[in-house]
Homo-oligomer: A and B are copies of this chain.
Amino acid sequence: MPGNTFGTSFKITTWGESHGKGVGVIIDGCPPRIPLDEAVIQPMMDRRKPGGSSIASTSRKEPDKAIIMSGVFEGMTTGTPIMIMLHNKDADSGAYKPYADLFRPGHGDITYQAKYGIRDWRGGGRASARETAARVAAGAVARAILDREKISVSAYTTELGGIKAKKRDLDTVDQNMFCCPDADAAEEMVRRVTDVKKKGDSLGGIVEILARGVPRGLGEPVFDKLDAELAKGLMSIGAVKGVEIGAGFEAAGKLGSENNDPITPEGFSTNNAGGILAGISNGDDIVMRVAVKPIPSIAIEQKTIDRHGNPATISTKGRHDISAIPRINVVCEAMVCIVLADHLLRLTVDG
B293 and A252 within 8 A (CB): yes
A300 / chain B contacts, CB cutoff of 8 Å: 256-257
Task: List which A316-336 residues lie within 8 A (CB) of chain B.
Answer: none
CB < 8 Å neighbour of A73 from B118, B196, B229, B251? B118
Which chain A residues (205-226) contact chain B, with CB distance < 8 Å? 205-206, 216-217, 219-225
Chain A contact residues, CB within 8 Å of chain B: 1-6, 8-9, 11, 13-17, 20-24, 26, 28-29, 31-33, 67, 69-71, 73, 76-83, 103, 105-108, 110-112, 114-120, 125-127, 131, 159, 161-162, 196, 201-206, 216-217, 219-225, 227-236, 238, 241-265, 269, 272-274, 276-283, 291-298, 300, 302-305, 309-311, 345-351
Residues of B contacting A230 in the complex (Cβ-Cβ under 8 angstroms): 235
Given contacts A69-B15, A251-B293, A291-B244, whether A348 and B256 have CB atoms under 8 Å apart is no
Q: List 14 A-B contacts (CB under 8 A).
A: A3-B222, A13-B26, A15-B70, A32-B117, A76-B118, A79-B351, A106-B256, A106-B277, A107-B278, A108-B277, A159-B253, A196-B255, A241-B246, A254-B294
How long is the Cα–Cα vector from A126 to B28 in the complex, in angstroms? Answer: 13
Once the chains bind, are B242 and A1 in contact (CB under 8 Å)?
A: no
Known A257-B298, A262-B304, A294-B259; contact A223-B351, beta-carbon cutoff 8 A: no
- Give which listed residue, B260, B278, B346, B350, contacts A298 with CB less than 8 A: B260
The chain B residue with its CB closest to the CB of A148 is B350
A243: chain B residues at CB < 8 Å are 231, 235, 242-244
A281 near B15: Cβ-Cβ < 8 Å = no
The complex places the Cα of A81 from the Cα of B116 at a distance, in Å, of: 13
Asked whether B241 lies within 8 Å of A245 as measured between CB atoms, the reply is: yes
| Inter-chain contact B78/A118, CB cutoff 8 Å | yes
Determine if A222 and B131 form an interchain contact, defined as CB atoms under 8 angstroms apart: yes
Please tell me if the beta carbons of B252 and A292 are within 8 angstroms of each other in the complex. Answer: yes
- For A69, the chain B residues whose CB sits under 8 A away are 15-16, 20-22, 24
CA distance A332 to B255 in the complex (A): 22
Contact A251 B259 (CB under 8 A): no
Decide: A351 and B31 in contact? CB cutoff 8 A. yes
Question: Is the Cβ of A114 less than 8 Å from the Cβ of B293?
Answer: no
Q: Is the CB of A291 within 8 A of B251?
A: yes
Q: CB-nearest residue of chain B relative to A127?
A: B278
CB distance from A200 to the nearest CB of B (A): 8
Min CB–CB distance A135 → chain B (angstroms): 9
| Residues in B neighbouring A31, C-beta threshold 8 A | 348-351
CA–CA, A11 to B6, complex, Å?
A: 13
